[in-house]
């Protein structure tokens, strides 16, 4: 639909597990983003990658570890999460052509539940 | 940093009525204001945006207005239809970077009753 795909769509994990979220964009964009969407809270920007380089890390705990091996793929590695980390994790991408005012295109998200 | 306040948090209208959602922002340097619609089970999708050099923009039944002096912007949906029911988010971009840095409002749950 938007050209941004995310897998898995749903994930349930225990606090001691290690899992990874995957995002892929088919739009030829240069910037990719991870957002956290919790109930009754605004979308929170977690990480930004521009041309495969991490340019933003908004005080995210180290139990979240992003990886951007190329401009089309973005991962979020998860380990020893807490129940309060349960949320919808959204990936987005943008072309990076108009100095920070590009449209961001979102994937459908991964619904994460930490038990 | 930027702070975006969005009101109301829920909005219920009858089909055919108009709906208005309002947002205020704090950083006068913000220059890009997109609106996103999020349907159940989907990610947010851009429906309209406005830049700081424009006061109003329309796209069929949707319009956005921007008042830079007062630092607020609004989404107007006319002739609402049941398929307009969704969560709507406003956002502001602080600019100053090559990539986007959006700050989102809390969201408005719009329900259109047939």
Q: What is the pLDDT of residues B89-99, one digit of tens each?
A: 999 987 667 67
For residue B108, is it left (φ>0), alpha (ψ between -120 and 50) or beta?
Answer: beta
Select from B5, B9, B100, B108 the residue whose CB has the most chain A CBs within 10 Å, as the one to mutate to test that interface: B100
CA atoms of B30 and B60, how far apart (whole Å):
26
Element (H, E) at A70: strand A64-70
pLDDT of residue A2: 74
Region A26-47: mean pLDDT is: 91
CA B39 → CA A5, A115, B7, B45, B97, distances in Å? 16, 26, 19, 9, 30
Per-residue confidence band for A1, with pLDDT thresholds at 50, 70 and 90? low
Do A2 and A21 meet the contact criterion of CB atoms below 8 Å apart?
no
From chain A, pick out residues whose CB is under 8 angstroms from the CB of B49: 103
Q: Does the pLDDT value for residue A15 go beyond 90?
A: no
Q: Does the pLDDT value for residue A98 go beyond 70?
A: no
Q: Which of A44-48, A98-102, B60-64, B88-92 is least confident?
A: A98-102
- What residue in B sits closest to A41 (Cα-Cα)? B106
Minimum-distance CB partner of A100 among B41, B45, B97: B97
Per-residue confidence band for B77, with pLDDT thresholds at 50, 70 and 90? very high
What residues of chain A, 28 to 57, have a C-beta less than 8 Å from chain B?
Answer: 30-31, 33, 40-43, 45, 48, 50, 55-56
Give the pLDDT confidence of B36-58 residue by residue, as tens digits.
999 998 999 999 999 888 899 99
Q: Give me the residue label for tokens 């969201």.
A: B107
pLDDT of residue A57: 79
Is B101's Cβ below 8 Å from some Cβ in A?
yes
């Amino acid at each position: 639909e938007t050209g941004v795909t995310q897998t898995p769509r749903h994930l349930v994990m225990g606090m001691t597990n290690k899992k990874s979220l995957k995002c892929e964009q088919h739009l030829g964009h240069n910037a990719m983003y991870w957002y956290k969407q919790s109930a009754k809270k605004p979308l929170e920007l977690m990480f930004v990658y521009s041309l495969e380089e991490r340019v933003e890390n908004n005080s995210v705990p180290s139990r979240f570890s992003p990886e951007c091996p190329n401009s089309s793929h973005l991962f979020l590695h998860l380990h020893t999460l807490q129940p309060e980390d349960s949320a919808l994790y959204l990936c987005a991408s943008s072309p990076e052509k108009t100095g920070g005012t590009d449209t961001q295109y979102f994937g459908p998200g991964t619904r994460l539940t930490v038990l | 940093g930027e702070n975006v306040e969005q009101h109301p948090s829920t909005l219920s209208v009858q089909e055919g009525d108009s709906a208005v959602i309002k947002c205020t922002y704090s950083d006068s340097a913000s220059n890009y204001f997109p609106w996103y619609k999020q349907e159940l089970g989907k990610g947010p999708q851009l429906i309209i945006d406005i830049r700081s050099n424009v006061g109003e923009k329309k796209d069929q039944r949707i319009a956005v207005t921007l008042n830079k002096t007062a630092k607020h912007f609004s989404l107007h949906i006319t002739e609402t239809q049941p398929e307009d029911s969704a969560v709507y988010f406003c956002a502001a971009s602080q600019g100053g970077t090559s990539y986007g840095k959006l700050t989102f409002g809390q969201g408005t749950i719009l329900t259109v009753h047939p």
